[in-house]
Amino acid sequence: MADDSAPRCGSHGGDPADEDTALVERAADALAGVSLPDGLGDDPFTAGVVTDVRADTGTVTIAVSLDPAGTTGDLDPETADTAVERLRSAVFEVPGVEEVHVEEADAGDDSGPDGTAANDAAAGGEPHGHGEGDHNVHEHPEPAAERTLDGVDHVVAVASAKGGVGKTTVSVALARGLAAAGLDVGLFDADVYGPNVPELLDVEGPVRATEDGAAAPVERAGVETMSVGLLSDGGPLAWRGSMAHEALSELLFDTAWGHTVEGDGDGGERGGDDAALDVLVLDVPPGTGDIPLTITQSVPVDGTVLVSTPAATALSDTARFRDLLDENGVPALGVVRNMDGFTCPTCGDTHDLFDADADPGETLDTAVLASLQFDASLRERLAVDADGDRTTDATGEAELPDAARELASAVGDRLALDDDAPVPEAAVDVRGMPERPRREHVRAEAADTAPGGTLSVVDAAPPDSLLSTVADGFGCAIDRLDPRVRRHDDDRWSLTVERPPAGADPGPDATTADRDGRNSDGGDADRPEVTGP
Protein backbone atom coordinates (compact mmCIF):
# COMPACT_ATOMS: atom_id res chain seq x y z
CA MET A 1 0.00 0.00 0.00
CA ALA A 2 1.02 3.56 -0.47
CA ASP A 3 2.78 5.55 2.16
CA ASP A 4 0.08 7.80 3.53
CA SER A 5 2.46 10.71 3.62
CA ALA A 6 3.17 10.35 -0.06
CA PRO A 7 1.66 12.87 -2.45
CA ARG A 8 -0.97 10.48 -3.59
CA CYS A 9 -4.29 12.17 -4.03
CA GLY A 10 -5.16 15.70 -4.86
CA SER A 11 -8.29 17.58 -5.45
CA HIS A 12 -8.45 20.16 -8.10
CA GLY A 13 -10.39 23.25 -8.84
CA GLY A 14 -12.01 23.67 -5.42
CA ASP A 15 -13.91 21.20 -3.28
CA PRO A 16 -14.82 18.12 -5.28
CA ALA A 17 -18.22 16.51 -4.92
CA ASP A 18 -18.42 13.70 -2.39
CA GLU A 19 -18.52 11.01 -5.02
CA ASP A 20 -15.48 12.47 -6.75
CA THR A 21 -13.59 12.35 -3.48
CA ALA A 22 -14.62 8.74 -2.94
CA LEU A 23 -13.63 7.89 -6.50
CA VAL A 24 -10.23 9.48 -6.03
CA GLU A 25 -9.70 7.40 -2.90
CA ARG A 26 -10.66 4.18 -4.66
CA ALA A 27 -8.51 5.02 -7.66
CA ALA A 28 -5.57 5.84 -5.40
CA ASP A 29 -5.95 2.52 -3.61
CA ALA A 30 -5.93 0.72 -6.95
CA LEU A 31 -2.89 2.67 -8.10
CA ALA A 32 -1.03 1.90 -4.91
CA GLY A 33 -1.27 -1.77 -5.76
CA VAL A 34 0.24 -1.39 -9.21
CA SER A 35 3.54 -3.09 -9.74
CA LEU A 36 5.74 -0.87 -11.91
CA PRO A 37 8.27 -2.14 -14.44
CA ASP A 38 11.78 -2.58 -13.12
CA GLY A 39 13.65 0.63 -12.56
CA LEU A 40 10.67 2.75 -11.69
CA GLY A 41 10.32 1.79 -8.06
CA ASP A 42 7.91 -0.42 -6.14
CA ASP A 43 5.07 1.86 -5.32
CA PRO A 44 3.81 4.46 -7.80
CA PHE A 45 3.26 7.04 -5.06
CA THR A 46 6.38 6.64 -3.00
CA ALA A 47 8.41 6.40 -6.20
CA GLY A 48 6.89 9.74 -7.27
CA VAL A 49 5.56 8.24 -10.50
CA VAL A 50 1.97 9.15 -9.70
CA THR A 51 1.86 12.71 -8.45
CA ASP A 52 -1.81 13.54 -8.56
CA VAL A 53 -5.19 11.85 -8.91
CA ARG A 54 -8.35 13.76 -9.64
CA ALA A 55 -11.91 12.79 -10.45
CA ASP A 56 -14.70 14.56 -12.22
CA THR A 57 -18.00 12.70 -12.54
CA GLY A 58 -16.57 9.32 -13.43
CA THR A 59 -13.53 10.62 -15.24
CA VAL A 60 -10.29 10.04 -13.37
CA THR A 61 -7.15 11.93 -14.28
CA ILE A 62 -3.77 10.61 -13.18
CA ALA A 63 -0.74 12.89 -13.32
CA VAL A 64 2.31 10.77 -14.01
CA SER A 65 6.00 11.54 -13.87
CA LEU A 66 8.21 9.04 -15.61
CA ASP A 67 11.21 11.01 -14.51
CA PRO A 68 10.86 10.93 -10.76
CA ALA A 69 14.59 10.63 -10.27
CA GLY A 70 15.62 12.76 -13.20
CA THR A 71 16.65 9.75 -15.27
CA THR A 72 14.00 9.64 -17.96
CA GLY A 73 16.62 9.74 -20.62
CA ASP A 74 17.48 6.18 -19.70
CA LEU A 75 13.91 4.94 -19.67
CA ASP A 76 13.06 3.04 -22.80
CA PRO A 77 9.76 3.95 -24.41
CA GLU A 78 8.24 0.50 -24.12
CA THR A 79 8.82 0.51 -20.36
CA ALA A 80 7.27 3.95 -20.15
CA ASP A 81 4.22 2.78 -22.05
CA THR A 82 3.97 -0.36 -19.94
CA ALA A 83 4.03 1.71 -16.76
CA VAL A 84 1.35 4.07 -18.01
CA GLU A 85 -0.78 1.21 -19.24
CA ARG A 86 -0.62 -0.60 -15.89
CA LEU A 87 -1.64 2.53 -14.05
CA ARG A 88 -4.45 3.23 -16.43
CA SER A 89 -5.72 -0.34 -16.42
CA ALA A 90 -5.76 -0.42 -12.61
CA VAL A 91 -7.95 2.66 -12.49
CA PHE A 92 -10.22 1.35 -15.24
CA GLU A 93 -11.05 -1.59 -13.00
CA VAL A 94 -12.30 0.67 -10.20
CA PRO A 95 -16.09 0.67 -9.87
CA GLY A 96 -17.54 3.98 -10.95
CA VAL A 97 -14.70 4.88 -13.30
CA GLU A 98 -15.92 5.60 -16.79
CA GLU A 99 -12.88 7.21 -18.31
CA VAL A 100 -9.22 7.54 -17.43
CA HIS A 101 -6.88 10.27 -18.53
CA VAL A 102 -3.16 10.05 -17.98
CA GLU A 103 -1.27 13.27 -18.20
CA GLU A 104 2.31 14.17 -17.72
CA ALA A 105 3.02 15.73 -14.36
CA ASP A 106 4.20 19.25 -14.92
CA ALA A 107 7.99 19.32 -14.66
CA GLY A 108 7.76 22.30 -12.35
CA ASP A 109 5.08 20.70 -10.27
CA ASP A 110 6.26 18.67 -7.40
CA SER A 111 2.68 17.75 -6.99
CA GLY A 112 1.50 17.57 -3.52
CA PRO A 113 -2.10 17.15 -2.84
CA ASP A 114 -2.67 20.55 -4.30
CA GLY A 115 -0.57 19.87 -7.34
CA THR A 116 -1.88 21.21 -10.59
CA ALA A 117 -0.86 19.37 -13.69
CA ALA A 118 -0.38 20.93 -17.03
CA ASN A 119 -3.01 20.05 -19.63
CA ASP A 120 -5.61 20.05 -16.95
CA ALA A 121 -8.95 19.80 -18.59
CA ALA A 122 -10.77 20.45 -15.39
CA ALA A 123 -9.10 23.82 -15.05
CA GLY A 124 -11.39 25.19 -17.68
CA GLY A 125 -14.29 23.17 -16.40
CA GLU A 126 -14.03 21.29 -19.68
CA PRO A 127 -13.20 17.67 -19.22
CA HIS A 128 -11.60 15.92 -22.15
CA GLY A 129 -14.16 14.18 -24.27
CA HIS A 130 -14.11 10.99 -26.25
CA GLY A 131 -12.55 11.02 -29.61
CA GLU A 132 -10.41 14.04 -29.13
CA GLY A 133 -7.07 12.53 -28.57
CA ASP A 134 -7.18 12.84 -24.86
CA HIS A 135 -7.63 9.34 -23.64
CA ASN A 136 -4.09 8.56 -22.85
CA VAL A 137 -2.47 11.90 -22.71
CA HIS A 138 1.09 11.93 -21.65
CA GLU A 139 3.54 14.10 -23.37
CA HIS A 140 2.12 14.55 -26.79
CA PRO A 141 0.54 17.35 -28.71
CA GLU A 142 -3.07 17.41 -29.74
CA PRO A 143 -3.51 14.97 -32.59
CA ALA A 144 -3.96 16.60 -35.95
CA ALA A 145 -7.13 14.69 -36.64
CA GLU A 146 -8.14 16.72 -39.62
CA ARG A 147 -5.01 16.19 -41.70
CA THR A 148 -5.45 14.16 -44.82
CA LEU A 149 -2.97 12.14 -46.77
CA ASP A 150 -2.90 13.45 -50.30
CA GLY A 151 -3.44 10.83 -52.94
CA VAL A 152 -4.29 8.06 -50.48
CA ASP A 153 -7.74 6.51 -50.79
CA HIS A 154 -7.79 4.28 -47.71
CA VAL A 155 -5.66 3.94 -44.60
CA VAL A 156 -5.55 0.74 -42.54
CA ALA A 157 -3.66 0.62 -39.25
CA VAL A 158 -2.23 -2.69 -38.08
CA ALA A 159 -1.96 -2.62 -34.31
CA SER A 160 -1.45 -4.91 -31.35
CA ALA A 161 -1.74 -4.50 -27.61
CA LYS A 162 1.57 -6.27 -27.08
CA GLY A 163 4.86 -6.38 -28.90
CA GLY A 164 6.17 -9.43 -30.68
CA VAL A 165 2.80 -10.91 -31.64
CA GLY A 166 3.41 -10.58 -35.37
CA LYS A 167 2.18 -7.09 -36.20
CA THR A 168 4.94 -6.37 -38.71
CA THR A 169 4.51 -9.81 -40.24
CA VAL A 170 0.80 -9.12 -40.67
CA SER A 171 1.42 -5.59 -42.02
CA VAL A 172 3.73 -6.94 -44.69
CA ALA A 173 1.38 -9.84 -45.44
CA LEU A 174 -1.53 -7.44 -45.84
CA ALA A 175 0.40 -4.98 -48.00
CA ARG A 176 1.76 -7.72 -50.20
CA GLY A 177 -1.61 -9.45 -50.46
CA LEU A 178 -3.27 -6.21 -51.53
CA ALA A 179 -0.50 -5.55 -54.05
CA ALA A 180 -0.87 -9.08 -55.41
CA ALA A 181 -4.57 -8.30 -55.97
CA GLY A 182 -3.50 -5.48 -58.27
CA LEU A 183 -3.92 -2.51 -55.94
CA ASP A 184 -1.53 0.40 -55.47
CA VAL A 185 -0.31 -0.10 -51.94
CA GLY A 186 1.91 1.76 -49.51
CA LEU A 187 3.34 0.51 -46.24
CA PHE A 188 4.38 3.01 -43.59
CA ASP A 189 6.41 1.49 -40.79
CA ALA A 190 5.68 3.67 -37.78
CA ASP A 191 6.96 1.13 -35.29
CA VAL A 192 9.47 3.23 -33.40
CA TYR A 193 10.34 0.32 -31.12
CA GLY A 194 11.11 -2.19 -33.82
CA PRO A 195 11.00 -0.88 -37.38
CA ASN A 196 11.50 -4.24 -39.06
CA VAL A 197 9.79 -3.53 -42.37
CA PRO A 198 13.00 -2.40 -44.11
CA GLU A 199 14.61 -5.72 -43.28
CA LEU A 200 11.68 -7.73 -44.56
CA LEU A 201 11.33 -5.75 -47.76
CA ASP A 202 15.04 -5.16 -48.25
CA VAL A 203 14.82 -1.39 -48.05
CA GLU A 204 17.73 0.71 -46.82
CA GLY A 205 18.21 4.33 -45.74
CA PRO A 206 18.89 7.08 -46.11
CA VAL A 207 15.53 8.45 -47.11
CA ARG A 208 15.85 10.11 -50.51
CA ALA A 209 14.13 13.30 -51.53
CA THR A 210 11.97 13.95 -54.54
CA GLU A 211 12.53 17.05 -56.64
CA ASP A 212 10.06 18.84 -54.41
CA GLY A 213 12.02 17.95 -51.32
CA ALA A 214 9.48 15.40 -50.06
CA ALA A 215 10.50 11.99 -48.78
CA ALA A 216 10.44 9.39 -51.54
CA PRO A 217 9.15 5.93 -50.71
CA VAL A 218 10.95 2.91 -52.06
CA GLU A 219 8.98 0.35 -54.04
CA ARG A 220 9.48 -3.33 -53.35
CA ALA A 221 7.26 -6.17 -54.51
CA GLY A 222 4.66 -3.66 -55.65
CA VAL A 223 4.56 -1.99 -52.25
CA GLU A 224 5.74 1.58 -51.69
CA THR A 225 7.54 1.61 -48.40
CA MET A 226 8.60 4.23 -45.91
CA SER A 227 9.93 3.46 -42.46
CA VAL A 228 11.16 5.27 -39.39
CA GLY A 229 13.88 2.64 -39.50
CA LEU A 230 15.30 4.41 -42.53
CA LEU A 231 15.91 7.48 -40.39
CA SER A 232 17.80 5.73 -37.64
CA ASP A 233 20.87 4.89 -39.65
CA GLY A 234 20.92 1.44 -38.14
CA GLY A 235 21.07 2.77 -34.59
CA PRO A 236 18.46 2.21 -31.91
CA LEU A 237 15.41 4.39 -31.90
CA ALA A 238 14.50 5.73 -28.51
CA TRP A 239 11.74 8.12 -29.31
CA ARG A 240 8.83 8.76 -27.12
CA GLY A 241 6.01 11.14 -26.59
CA SER A 242 5.88 14.28 -28.66
CA MET A 243 9.21 13.67 -30.29
CA ALA A 244 8.04 10.39 -31.76
CA HIS A 245 4.72 11.78 -32.74
CA GLU A 246 6.14 14.82 -34.47
CA ALA A 247 8.85 12.92 -36.31
CA LEU A 248 6.39 10.25 -37.38
CA SER A 249 3.82 12.78 -38.53
CA GLU A 250 6.39 14.71 -40.45
CA LEU A 251 7.64 11.62 -42.22
CA LEU A 252 4.18 10.23 -42.93
CA PHE A 253 2.66 13.44 -44.23
CA ASP A 254 5.81 14.46 -46.10
CA THR A 255 6.11 11.19 -47.94
CA ALA A 256 5.38 11.61 -51.63
CA TRP A 257 3.26 8.49 -52.12
CA GLY A 258 3.27 7.61 -55.77
CA HIS A 259 6.74 9.11 -56.35
CA THR A 260 9.20 6.36 -55.72
CA VAL A 261 12.96 6.56 -55.89
CA GLU A 262 14.79 3.39 -56.79
CA GLY A 263 17.80 2.26 -54.86
CA ASP A 264 20.16 3.77 -57.39
CA GLY A 265 18.54 7.17 -57.12
CA ASP A 266 16.48 7.05 -60.29
CA GLY A 267 13.02 8.41 -59.79
CA GLY A 268 9.78 6.82 -60.80
CA GLU A 269 6.26 8.05 -60.68
CA ARG A 270 3.00 6.23 -60.73
CA GLY A 271 0.82 7.61 -63.45
CA GLY A 272 -2.69 7.16 -64.55
CA ASP A 273 -4.76 7.12 -61.39
CA ASP A 274 -5.89 10.18 -59.54
CA ALA A 275 -4.91 8.59 -56.27
CA ALA A 276 -1.35 7.47 -55.80
CA LEU A 277 -2.38 4.73 -53.43
CA ASP A 278 -5.50 2.64 -53.10
CA VAL A 279 -4.48 1.59 -49.60
CA LEU A 280 -1.82 2.72 -47.16
CA VAL A 281 -1.02 0.18 -44.45
CA LEU A 282 0.35 1.62 -41.21
CA ASP A 283 2.48 -0.63 -39.01
CA VAL A 284 1.76 1.05 -35.67
CA PRO A 285 4.04 0.65 -32.62
CA PRO A 286 2.84 -2.04 -30.23
CA GLY A 287 1.04 -1.33 -26.99
CA THR A 288 -1.93 0.62 -25.83
CA GLY A 289 -0.02 3.75 -24.95
CA ASP A 290 0.37 7.19 -26.25
CA ILE A 291 2.08 6.71 -29.59
CA PRO A 292 -0.21 4.08 -31.11
CA LEU A 293 -3.29 5.96 -30.06
CA THR A 294 -2.01 9.29 -31.30
CA ILE A 295 -1.01 7.86 -34.65
CA THR A 296 -4.35 6.21 -35.23
CA GLN A 297 -6.09 9.43 -34.30
CA SER A 298 -3.96 11.87 -36.23
CA VAL A 299 -4.27 10.00 -39.51
CA PRO A 300 -7.62 9.48 -41.21
CA VAL A 301 -7.66 5.74 -40.51
CA ASP A 302 -10.50 3.79 -42.14
CA GLY A 303 -10.09 0.97 -39.68
CA THR A 304 -7.68 -1.06 -37.61
CA VAL A 305 -6.57 -4.63 -38.12
CA LEU A 306 -5.79 -6.00 -34.67
CA VAL A 307 -3.20 -8.70 -34.30
CA SER A 308 -3.31 -11.15 -31.43
CA THR A 309 -2.14 -14.58 -30.57
CA PRO A 310 -4.90 -16.84 -29.30
CA ALA A 311 -3.47 -16.69 -25.76
CA ALA A 312 -6.12 -15.64 -23.26
CA THR A 313 -4.01 -12.84 -21.79
CA ALA A 314 -3.15 -11.45 -25.22
CA LEU A 315 -6.84 -11.52 -26.09
CA SER A 316 -7.95 -9.65 -23.00
CA ASP A 317 -5.26 -7.01 -23.61
CA THR A 318 -6.40 -6.76 -27.21
CA ALA A 319 -10.04 -6.47 -26.16
CA ARG A 320 -9.14 -3.54 -23.92
CA PHE A 321 -7.19 -1.95 -26.73
CA ARG A 322 -10.10 -2.43 -29.05
CA ASP A 323 -12.38 -0.63 -26.59
CA LEU A 324 -9.87 2.18 -26.33
CA LEU A 325 -9.71 2.58 -30.10
CA ASP A 326 -13.47 2.42 -30.25
CA GLU A 327 -13.84 5.15 -27.66
CA ASN A 328 -11.49 7.28 -29.70
CA GLY A 329 -13.41 6.83 -32.90
CA VAL A 330 -11.05 4.38 -34.62
CA PRO A 331 -13.09 1.39 -35.84
CA ALA A 332 -11.72 -2.14 -35.76
CA LEU A 333 -12.02 -4.01 -39.05
CA GLY A 334 -11.32 -7.30 -37.33
CA VAL A 335 -8.57 -9.37 -35.84
CA VAL A 336 -5.83 -11.55 -37.26
CA ARG A 337 -5.24 -14.65 -35.25
CA ASN A 338 -1.50 -15.19 -35.38
CA MET A 339 0.50 -18.23 -34.36
CA ASP A 340 -2.81 -20.03 -34.43
CA GLY A 341 -1.59 -23.57 -34.07
CA PHE A 342 1.32 -25.41 -35.52
CA THR A 343 1.18 -28.26 -38.00
CA CYS A 344 3.85 -30.79 -37.28
CA PRO A 345 5.76 -31.54 -40.49
CA THR A 346 6.42 -35.08 -39.27
CA CYS A 347 3.02 -36.33 -38.11
CA GLY A 348 0.87 -33.75 -39.94
CA ASP A 349 -1.20 -33.07 -36.82
CA THR A 350 -2.04 -29.53 -35.82
CA HIS A 351 -1.29 -28.55 -32.25
CA ASP A 352 -2.47 -25.53 -30.29
CA LEU A 353 0.31 -23.31 -29.06
CA PHE A 354 -1.90 -21.42 -26.65
CA ASP A 355 -5.05 -22.07 -24.66
CA ALA A 356 -7.17 -24.16 -26.97
CA ASP A 357 -10.46 -22.65 -25.86
CA ALA A 358 -9.71 -19.00 -26.44
CA ASP A 359 -11.21 -17.61 -29.62
CA PRO A 360 -10.12 -14.12 -30.66
CA GLY A 361 -13.27 -13.30 -32.60
CA GLU A 362 -15.47 -14.16 -29.68
CA THR A 363 -13.39 -12.54 -26.97
CA LEU A 364 -12.90 -9.37 -28.96
CA ASP A 365 -16.41 -9.29 -30.38
CA THR A 366 -15.03 -8.66 -33.81
CA ALA A 367 -14.51 -10.71 -36.95
CA VAL A 368 -11.50 -12.94 -37.47
CA LEU A 369 -10.06 -11.70 -40.74
CA ALA A 370 -7.46 -14.41 -41.17
CA SER A 371 -5.53 -17.00 -39.26
CA LEU A 372 -1.82 -17.54 -39.51
CA GLN A 373 -0.37 -20.74 -38.19
CA PHE A 374 3.06 -20.75 -36.65
CA ASP A 375 5.24 -21.33 -39.68
CA ALA A 376 8.99 -20.96 -39.47
CA SER A 377 9.17 -20.22 -43.20
CA LEU A 378 6.57 -17.45 -43.10
CA ARG A 379 9.04 -14.62 -42.73
CA GLU A 380 11.09 -15.87 -45.64
CA ARG A 381 8.01 -16.25 -47.81
CA LEU A 382 6.92 -12.70 -47.11
CA ALA A 383 10.36 -11.20 -47.41
CA VAL A 384 11.84 -9.70 -50.54
CA ASP A 385 15.38 -10.72 -51.22
CA ALA A 386 18.22 -8.45 -52.22
CA ASP A 387 17.92 -9.39 -55.88
CA GLY A 388 14.47 -7.92 -56.05
CA ASP A 389 11.01 -9.21 -56.12
CA ARG A 390 11.25 -12.96 -55.96
CA THR A 391 7.69 -13.61 -54.90
CA THR A 392 5.79 -11.74 -57.57
CA ASP A 393 7.63 -13.02 -60.61
CA ALA A 394 6.09 -15.75 -62.70
CA THR A 395 7.52 -18.61 -60.72
CA GLY A 396 7.54 -17.04 -57.31
CA GLU A 397 3.96 -15.80 -57.22
CA ALA A 398 2.74 -18.93 -55.50
CA GLU A 399 5.17 -18.37 -52.67
CA LEU A 400 3.13 -15.56 -51.22
CA PRO A 401 1.28 -17.33 -48.41
CA ASP A 402 -2.43 -17.90 -48.99
CA ALA A 403 -3.10 -16.19 -45.68
CA ALA A 404 -1.69 -12.95 -47.10
CA ARG A 405 -4.19 -13.04 -49.96
CA GLU A 406 -7.00 -14.09 -47.64
CA LEU A 407 -6.28 -11.25 -45.27
CA ALA A 408 -6.07 -8.77 -48.13
CA SER A 409 -9.36 -10.01 -49.47
CA ALA A 410 -11.17 -9.73 -46.14
CA VAL A 411 -9.76 -6.24 -45.54
CA GLY A 412 -10.56 -5.22 -49.13
CA ASP A 413 -14.16 -6.29 -48.65
CA ARG A 414 -14.41 -4.26 -45.48
CA LEU A 415 -12.96 -1.17 -47.09
CA ALA A 416 -15.35 -1.43 -50.04
CA LEU A 417 -12.37 -1.31 -52.39
CA ASP A 418 -14.52 -2.79 -55.10
CA ASP A 419 -17.11 -0.03 -55.08
CA ASP A 420 -18.95 -1.63 -57.99
CA ALA A 421 -19.80 -4.71 -55.97
CA PRO A 422 -23.59 -4.89 -56.00
CA VAL A 423 -25.61 -5.63 -52.91
CA PRO A 424 -26.69 -9.25 -53.35
CA GLU A 425 -30.06 -9.65 -54.98
CA ALA A 426 -32.96 -10.49 -52.69
CA ALA A 427 -30.90 -9.59 -49.65
CA VAL A 428 -32.86 -9.32 -46.42
CA ASP A 429 -32.56 -5.69 -45.36
CA VAL A 430 -32.48 -5.36 -41.56
CA ARG A 431 -31.14 -1.82 -41.38
CA GLY A 432 -32.80 0.23 -38.70
CA MET A 433 -34.55 -2.73 -37.07
CA PRO A 434 -34.30 -3.10 -33.28
CA GLU A 435 -31.99 -5.85 -32.10
CA ARG A 436 -34.48 -8.57 -31.16
CA PRO A 437 -36.84 -8.35 -34.18
CA ARG A 438 -33.77 -8.04 -36.37
CA ARG A 439 -32.39 -11.34 -35.13
CA GLU A 440 -35.76 -13.06 -35.23
CA HIS A 441 -36.26 -11.91 -38.81
CA VAL A 442 -32.84 -13.17 -39.84
CA ARG A 443 -33.37 -16.48 -38.04
CA ALA A 444 -36.72 -16.98 -39.80
CA GLU A 445 -35.26 -16.09 -43.21
CA ALA A 446 -32.41 -18.53 -42.60
CA ALA A 447 -34.84 -21.28 -41.64
CA ASP A 448 -36.76 -20.60 -44.89
CA THR A 449 -33.65 -20.83 -47.05
CA ALA A 450 -33.55 -24.12 -48.96
CA PRO A 451 -30.54 -26.42 -48.36
CA GLY A 452 -27.85 -25.45 -50.83
CA GLY A 453 -29.46 -22.01 -51.25
CA THR A 454 -27.92 -18.68 -50.36
CA LEU A 455 -29.03 -16.13 -47.78
CA SER A 456 -27.89 -12.51 -47.91
CA VAL A 457 -28.51 -9.93 -45.24
CA VAL A 458 -27.89 -6.20 -45.48
CA ASP A 459 -27.19 -4.24 -42.32
CA ALA A 460 -26.02 -0.74 -41.52
CA ALA A 461 -22.93 -1.94 -39.66
CA PRO A 462 -20.58 -4.93 -39.93
CA PRO A 463 -23.01 -7.84 -39.77
CA ASP A 464 -20.57 -10.42 -38.38
CA SER A 465 -22.56 -10.92 -35.21
CA LEU A 466 -25.60 -12.08 -37.21
CA LEU A 467 -23.74 -15.15 -38.35
CA SER A 468 -24.65 -17.12 -35.25
CA THR A 469 -28.30 -16.26 -35.80
CA VAL A 470 -28.04 -17.49 -39.38
CA ALA A 471 -26.42 -20.71 -38.16
CA ASP A 472 -29.24 -21.09 -35.68
CA GLY A 473 -31.82 -20.70 -38.46
CA PHE A 474 -29.95 -23.15 -40.67
CA GLY A 475 -29.66 -25.58 -37.76
CA CYS A 476 -25.94 -26.06 -38.14
CA ALA A 477 -22.78 -25.03 -36.34
CA ILE A 478 -21.15 -21.75 -37.30
CA ASP A 479 -17.96 -23.45 -38.35
CA ARG A 480 -19.91 -25.27 -41.09
CA LEU A 481 -20.56 -21.91 -42.75
CA ASP A 482 -18.38 -20.01 -45.14
CA PRO A 483 -19.67 -16.45 -44.92
CA ARG A 484 -18.65 -13.40 -46.87
CA VAL A 485 -18.87 -9.94 -45.33
CA ARG A 486 -18.65 -6.95 -47.60
CA ARG A 487 -19.00 -3.22 -47.11
CA HIS A 488 -20.82 -1.46 -49.94
CA ASP A 489 -20.89 2.07 -48.60
CA ASP A 490 -20.96 3.85 -45.28
CA ASP A 491 -24.21 2.32 -44.10
CA ARG A 492 -24.59 -0.83 -46.17
CA TRP A 493 -22.81 -4.04 -45.30
CA SER A 494 -23.79 -7.44 -46.59
CA LEU A 495 -23.41 -10.91 -45.17
CA THR A 496 -23.79 -13.75 -47.64
CA VAL A 497 -23.95 -17.36 -46.52
CA GLU A 498 -24.78 -20.59 -48.29
CA ARG A 499 -26.93 -23.08 -46.41
CA PRO A 500 -25.23 -26.49 -46.23
CA PRO A 501 -26.89 -29.07 -48.49
CA ALA A 502 -29.39 -31.50 -47.04
CA GLY A 503 -27.72 -34.39 -45.29
CA ALA A 504 -24.52 -32.44 -44.57
CA ASP A 505 -23.05 -32.91 -41.14
CA PRO A 506 -24.57 -30.09 -39.03
CA GLY A 507 -21.38 -29.94 -37.01
CA PRO A 508 -20.78 -30.14 -33.29
CA ASP A 509 -23.03 -28.23 -30.95
CA ALA A 510 -25.13 -27.07 -33.84
CA THR A 511 -27.63 -25.50 -31.52
CA THR A 512 -25.31 -23.67 -29.18
CA ALA A 513 -25.54 -20.27 -30.79
CA ASP A 514 -26.86 -17.87 -28.22
CA ARG A 515 -29.11 -14.89 -28.61
CA ASP A 516 -26.27 -12.42 -28.44
CA GLY A 517 -24.78 -13.65 -31.59
CA ARG A 518 -22.01 -15.65 -29.98
CA ASN A 519 -21.61 -19.37 -30.25
CA SER A 520 -20.29 -21.37 -27.41
CA ASP A 521 -18.32 -23.96 -29.24
CA GLY A 522 -15.12 -21.94 -29.26
CA GLY A 523 -14.80 -22.59 -32.95
CA ASP A 524 -14.42 -20.27 -35.89
CA ALA A 525 -17.39 -18.13 -35.08
CA ASP A 526 -17.89 -15.00 -37.11
CA ARG A 527 -15.13 -15.84 -39.46
CA PRO A 528 -15.72 -14.37 -42.88
CA GLU A 529 -15.00 -15.99 -46.19
CA VAL A 530 -11.83 -14.71 -47.68
CA THR A 531 -11.79 -14.33 -51.41
CA GLY A 532 -10.19 -11.82 -53.73
CA PRO A 533 -11.26 -8.19 -53.47
CB of 190 to ligand ATP, least distance (A): 10
Closer CB to ligand ATP, 49 or 158, in the complex: 158
Contact with ligand ATP (CB under 6 A): which of 166, 186, 361, 483? 166
> Minimal CA–CA distance to 207: which of 156, 162, 252?
252
Closer CB to ligand ATP, 225 or 456, in the complex: 225
Closer CB to ligand ATP, 379 or 492, in the complex: 379
Residue 288 makes contact with ligand ATP by CB under 6 A: no
Footprint of ligand ATP on residues 356-415 (CB under 6 A)?
Answer: 372, 374-376, 378-379
Instruction: List the end-to-end C-alpha distance of the chain, in Å, as a whole number.
Output: 55
Looking at residue 257, its amino acid is W
To the question of whether residue 112 is assigned a binding role by annotation, the answer is no
Q: Where does this chain touch ligand ATP (CB under 6 A) — which range of 157-165, 316-324, 435-443, 472-480?
A: 157-165
Contact with ligand ATP (CB under 6 A): which of 338, 371, 409, 465? 338
To the question of whether residue 151 is assigned a binding role by annotation, the answer is no
Closer CB to ligand ATP, 181 or 336, in the complex: 336
Is the Cβ–Cβ distance between 226 and 189 less than 8 Å? yes
Q: Is the CA virtual torsion 294, 295, 301, 306 positive or negative? A: negative
Whole-angstrom distance, CA of residue 311 vs CA of residue 338: 10
Q: How many residues does the chain have?
A: 533
Using alpha carbons, list the distances in angstroms from residue 347 to 15, 138, 344, 351. Answer: 69, 51, 6, 11
CB of 283 to ligand ATP, least distance (A): 7
CB of 224 to ligand ATP, least distance (A): 19
Looking at residue 521, its amino acid is D
CB of 354 to ligand ATP, least distance (A): 12
To the question of whether residue 168 is assigned a binding role by annotation, the answer is yes
Residue 309 makes contact with ligand ATP by CB under 6 A: no
Residue 160 makes contact with ligand ATP by CB under 6 A: yes
> Minimal CA–CA distance to 188: which of 214, 153, 223, 164?
223
What residue number has its CB nearest to ligand ATP? 163
Q: Where does this chain touch ligand ATP (CB under 6 A) — which range of 164-172, 258-266, 384-392, 494-502?
A: 164-172
CB of 103 to ligand ATP, least distance (A): 26
φ, ψ for residue 291, nearest 5 deg: -65, -50
In this structure, the dihedral spanned by the alpha carbons of residues 20, 23, 28 and 33, taken in order and rounded to 10 degrees, is -170
CB of 78 to ligand ATP, least distance (A): 8
To the question of whether residue 71 is assigned a binding role by annotation, the answer is no
Whole-angstrom distance, CA of residue 99 vs CA of residue 195: 32
Site size with ligand ATP, rule: CB under 6 A: 21
Closer CB to ligand ATP, 52 or 78, in the complex: 78
Residue 198 makes contact with ligand ATP by CB under 6 A: no
CB of 4 to ligand ATP, least distance (A): 39
DSSP labels, 224-280: EEEEGGGTTTTSPP---HHHHHHHHHHHHHTB-TTEEE-TTS-EEE--SSSSSEEEE
φ, ψ for residue 491, nearest 5 deg: -125, 30
Residue 194 makes contact with ligand ATP by CB under 6 A: yes
Residue 339 makes contact with ligand ATP by CB under 6 A: yes
Residue 163 makes contact with ligand ATP by CB under 6 A: yes
Residue 196 makes contact with ligand ATP by CB under 6 A: yes
Residue 77 makes contact with ligand ATP by CB under 6 A: no
Q: Where does this chain touch ligand ATP (CB under 6 A) — which range of 135-143, 162-170, 355-363, 515-523?
A: 162-170
To the question of whether residue 216 is assigned a binding role by annotation, the answer is no
Q: Residue 491, Cβ neighbours under 10 Å: how many?
A: 12
Is the Cβ–Cβ distance between 196 and 229 less than 8 Å? yes
Please state at what angle helix 241-253 crosses helix 290-298, rounded to 10 degrees.
Answer: 30
Residue 191 makes contact with ligand ATP by CB under 6 A: yes
> Minimal CA–CA distance to 369: which of 403, 318, 320, 419?
403
CB of 314 to ligand ATP, least distance (A): 11
Q: Where does this chain touch ligand ATP (CB under 6 A) — which range of 36-44, 52-60, 166-174, 264-272?
A: 166-174
* Paired residues of 486 in beta bridges: 494
Residue 473 makes contact with ligand ATP by CB under 6 A: no
Residue 51 makes contact with ligand ATP by CB under 6 A: no
Q: Is the CA virtual torsion 517, 520, 522, 524 positive or negative? A: negative
Buried/exposed 320-349: b ≥16 CB within 10 Å, e otherwise: bbbebbeebebebbbbbbbbbbeeeeeeee
CB of 191 to ligand ATP, least distance (A): 5
Whole-angstrom distance, CA of residue 276 vs CA of residue 153: 8
Closer CB to ligand ATP, 359 or 472, in the complex: 359
Whole-angstrom distance, CA of residue 286 vs CA of residue 191: 7
Q: Binding-site residues for ATP, please? A: 161-168
Q: Binding-site residues, please? A: 161-168
| Sites of contact with ligand ATP (CB under 6 A) | 160, 163-169, 191, 193-194, 196, 286, 338-339, 372, 374-376, 378-379
